[in-house]
Amino acid sequence: MESLWDQSCANSLNGDLLLERVYTSRLLGQETDLVLHGGGNTSVKAEIKNFFGDLEEVLYIKGSGWDLSTIESAGFAPVRLTVLQRLAELTSLSDSEMVREQRAAMLDPYAPNPSVEAILHAIIPYRFVDHTHADAVVTLTNNSEGLARVKEVYGEQVLIIPYVMPGFILAREIRNLTKDVDWHKYQGMILMNHGIFSFADDAKTAYERMIYLVTLAEEYLVKQNAVQFAEATGQTDLLTLSKIRQAVSQVKGTAMIAQLDQRAEAVGFANLPNISNIATRGPVTPDHVIRTKPIPVIFPSDQQADVTQAVNQYAENYHQYFLRNNPGDLKELDLSPRWGIWPGYGTLSFDQTLSSAQIITDIIEHTLRAIQMGEKLGGWQALSEKDLFDMEYWELEQAKLGKSANTPELRGKIAVVTGAASGIGKACVEVLAKQGAVVVGLDMNPAISEIFNKPGLVGIQANILDEKAIQEAIALTVQKFGGLDILVSNAGIFPASETIENLSQDTWEKSLNVNLSSQRSLLQSAIPFLKQGIDPTIIFIGSRNVLAPGPGAAAYSVAKAGLTQLARVAALELAADGIRVNTIHPDCVYDTGIWTADILASRAERYGLTVDEYKSRNLLKQPVTSQEVAQMVAAMAGKLFGKTTGCQLPIDGGNERVI
Ligand code: ZN
C-alpha cells in the first residue's frame, strides 16, 4: 500500500493540527482496503481556547455518522481529554452512560456524537491516533493461527490485543493491559478480529505507520500465495431474481432493493464448492455485522430449487440464533437476510435504499477476498456467534430501533415510467423518486439518458413501438434493482385535429399504435415481474377525452378509450396476483411540451377566450400541473389506494360533461 502523503498539501495547512487531522483522515478514507463506509476512526489531541479564553486540552475525535473519506473539521467532536481519561478508570460504564458523559464533555454542544472509541483514543499517549479495519490485517487475525501469524509479521513493533467488544470495555481492557507498557516502543496496535491502530505525535508519521504496518501484512499474504481469487461468469435468471427479492421483502415486511453483483470475483466466490461453509463463518470485522448480519442466505445451486424456501429457512435460523443468544430483554431485529450467495449467478445485497444496498455490496467485495485469503492461510475463522450477536444487538444499536425518521412511502419500490423525458412522465419520475422509489424512465428521446442519470434514477432510450427495446428496458430494470413494483404507462401522442370525414389512415393508425397497441406489449413484458412485486400496481395515464370526447379527436379518443378498457380487463385478470390497475384521466394540463405558446394562443382564439381563460376551462377554474398529476400517480402507487383497482380517476379541475 502506497503512502498518499503530499508534502505541498500538508504545508498549506500551516501546522493547524485539526486540519492536518482532516487531511490524513481523508487519505485513509480514500483507501477502501483500509476502511469502508463510515468504518475506522481518527483523533488528534490539541489545546484549544474555550469561550472564556482559557486553554483546555481536548481530543478531537471523529464524530459518528461521518465518513473518513469526506470528513471535515466539523466532523470531529472536541471532547475534554481529562474527562475521557477519567472515564477509562471506571470499572463499568454502560454504552448509554458513555454517550451521555462524552456529549456532556464536549466543548461544542452542536458537534456530532464522538466515536465509541473516543475513550480508547484518549488513553493512547500520542497526539495523532489512526484506526482502520485494514483487510490485510484482519485477514491475518481471522485465522486459526492468527496470533502466531501476527507475531511472525510484526515481531515487537506492535501491541497485540485479544478481541474485546468495541466501546468502553475495549478501552478499559487496553488500559489494564498497558499499565506497565512503554508505548513509545510501539508503532501501532493490532486488535485481533477487529483492526489496527497506528499512532505518533505528528500526522505524517501516524499515517505512514498505518501504511507501513498494513503493507507488512499485505506482503506477507502475497508471500504465502494467499492473494488469489476465484473468477467466473454469471448466468441470468431475472424471474428468479425478482422472486428472491420478493421473498426477502416479505420477510422484512417492506420493499427492498436487491442488488445482484455479477462481477467475475463475485460469481467465482458464489461458485466455490464449499461456499455454504466458508461464507457462513462470520464477517471480516465486527462492525460490518450491523449492515450485513452475521451470515448471508445461501441459495441452492439447483435451478429448480425453491428460493422462497431458502429465505424462509434463513428467517427461521436467524430467529433461533436470536433465541440462543438473547440474554432476556433484547428486541429482535427483522429476520430477513442482508446479503446472499447465489451459486451460478453471483452475490446479492438487500436493503431498503439503493445506497445502503451498495454499501453492503462494497462490504461483500472485500469480505469475499478476505475469506479466500483466510482459507489459503489455513482456514478463515471469524468471531464467535456470541461475539457477533453482542455487536449486532449492542445497547447503542438497540436504542436506535423504532426511532427511525419518517421514511418516504415508496422507499425500496422499483418503478418504470414511459414517456419520461418531459411533461407528466418526467414529473412522475421525479415525484416517485422523491417518495423513495428507484425509477427507470423510458422515452424515445435520446436525451432521456442524460435527463435521468444518477444512482437510482435511470433514463433509457426506447420507442414504445419497439417491442424488443421495451422488453430489454424492463429486463434491465430487474437486473439493476431486483424487480418491478410500479408501472406508469404515460407515453402517448396527441395527433392534430381531423374530423372523421377527413381523418387520414396515417393519423388513425399512428394514434392507435402508440396510444393503445403498444400498451399490450408493455404489459406483456412487465406482468411476469409485477406478479413478483411488492404491492404491485399499474397506472395508466388516460385522458378526459375518454369520458368527454371532443370533435376532431377521434383517433386520440378512441385509442384512449381502448386503453381504459385494456386497464379494466387487466384489473380483472391481475387482481388474483395482487396487482392493482387504475387509470388517471388528466385534463387542462398545459405545462407539457406539446402546449407551446403558439398552440395555446390559437386554441384560445378558436374558443374566443384569452390564454388564461382557456387554461382554466373547468369548473374549479384552475389549470392542472404535470406535478399535480404526478402526485396523484404516486398516491395511487401507495397505501392510500391500496384497496383500489379498476378505477378511473379524473384530475381535470372538474368537467361538467364528465360529472
Ligand atoms: Zn474499529
> Active site residue: 126, 318, 556, 614, which one?
556
Which range among 357-366, 431-440, 529-538, 606-615 shows the weakest confidence by mean pLDDT? 606-615
What spacing in Å lies between the alpha carbon of 172 and ligand 1's midpoint? 15
Which set of grid coordinates corresponds to residue 419?
414517456
Do domains 7-223 and 238-401 share one topology? The answer is: yes
What spacing in Å lies between the alpha carbon of 1 and ligand 1's midpoint? 20
pLDDT at 503: 94
Please identify every residue whose CB atom is under 5 Å from ligand 1, which is an ion. Answer: 195
pLDDT over 80 (residue 401): no
What spacing in Å lies between the alpha carbon of 165 and ligand 1's midpoint? 10
Q: In which band, very low, low, confident or very high, does the pLDDT at 328 lie, cut at 50, 70 and 90?
A: confident
What spacing in Å lies between the alpha carbon of 115 and ligand 1's midpoint? 10
What spacing in Å lies between the alpha carbon of 285 and ligand 1's midpoint? 8
What spacing in Å lies between the alpha carbon of 88 and ligand 1's midpoint? 17
Q: In which band, very low, low, confident or very high, does the pLDDT at 304 lie, cut at 50, 70 and 90?
A: confident
pLDDT over 90 (residue 77): yes
Domain boundaries, the chain: 7-223, 238-401, 414-595+625-651
The rounded distance, in Å, linking the Cα atoms of 182 and 327 is 39
pLDDT over 90 (residue 136): yes
pLDDT one-digit tens code per residue, 342-377: 999 999 999 999 999 999 999 999 999 999 999 999
What spacing in Å lies between the alpha carbon of 131 and ligand 1's midpoint? 7
Q: What is the mean pLDDT of residues 204-214?
A: 97
Which range among 37-46, 252-261, 626-635 shows the weakest confidence by mean pLDDT? 37-46
pLDDT one-digit tens code per residue, 497-523: 899 999 999 999 999 999 999 999 999
Q: Is 556 a catalytic residue?
A: yes
Give which of 95, 79, 86, 11 is closest to 44, Cα–Cα.
79
- pLDDT above 90 covers a percentage of the chain that reads 85
What kind of fold does domain 414-595+625-651 have according to CATH? Answer: Rossmann fold (3.40.50)
Q: What is the mean pLDDT of residues 260-265?
A: 98
In order, the DSSP letters of 408-459 are: PTTTT-EEEEES-SSHHHHHHHHHHHHTT-EEEEEESSTTHHHHSEETTEEE
What spacing in Å lies between the alpha carbon of 42 and ligand 1's midpoint? 10
Which set of grid coordinates corresponds to residue 180?
506497565
What spacing in Å lies between the alpha carbon of 39 and ligand 1's midpoint? 7
| CB within 8 Å of 443: residues ≥ 6 apart | 418, 419, 420, 421, 422, 425, 459, 461, 462, 491
Q: What is the mean pLDDT of residues 214-225?
A: 96
284 within 8 A of 142, measured Cβ to Cβ: yes
Q: What is the mean pLDDT of residues 584-588?
A: 94
Which CA distances in Å does 64 have to 37, 116, 396?
A: 12, 8, 12
pLDDT at 400: 64
Q: What is the mean pLDDT of residues 320-338?
A: 94
pLDDT at 318: 97
The b/e string for 302-334 (b: 16+ C-beta within 10 A; e otherwise) is eeeeebeebbbebbeebeebbeeeeeeebeeee
Give which of 388, 406, 386, 407 is closest to 397, Cα–Cα.
388
- Structural element, H or E, at residue 25: helix 17-30
What spacing in Å lies between the alpha carbon of 191 and ligand 1's midpoint? 9
- pLDDT above 70 covers a percentage of the chain that reads 99
pLDDT over 70 (residue 404): no
What spacing in Å lies between the alpha carbon of 364 and ligand 1's midpoint? 18
Cβ-based burial of 58 (10 A; exposed 0-12, middle 13-18, buried ≥19) = buried
User: In the CATH scheme, what is the homologous superfamily, with its name and number, of domain 7-223?
Assistant: Class II aldolase/adducin N-terminal domain (3.40.225.10)
pLDDT at 516: 96
What kind of fold does domain 238-401 have according to CATH? Answer: L-fuculose-1-phosphate Aldolase (3.40.225)
What spacing in Å lies between the alpha carbon of 87 and ligand 1's midpoint? 19
pLDDT one-digit tens code per residue, 592-631: 877 888 888 888 888 899 988 888 889 999 999 999 999 9
pLDDT at 617: 87
What spacing in Å lies between the alpha carbon of 130 and ligand 1's midpoint? 10
Q: What is the mean pLDDT of residues 24-39?
A: 92
pLDDT at 74: 95
What spacing in Å lies between the alpha carbon of 63 and ligand 1's midpoint? 13
Helices 505-512 and 554-574, axial angle in degrees (round to 10): 20
pLDDT at 403: 60
What spacing in Å lies between the alpha carbon of 387 and ligand 1's midpoint? 14
What spacing in Å lies between the alpha carbon of 399 and ligand 1's midpoint? 20
Q: What is the mean pLDDT of residues 80-95?
A: 94
In order, the DSSP letters of 483-551 are: ---EEEE-----PPPB-GGG--HHHHHHHHIIIIIHHHHHHHHHHHHHTTSSS-EEEEE--HHHHS--T
The rounded distance, in Å, linking the Cα atoms of 436 and 86 is 45
What spacing in Å lies between the alpha carbon of 95 and ligand 1's midpoint? 16
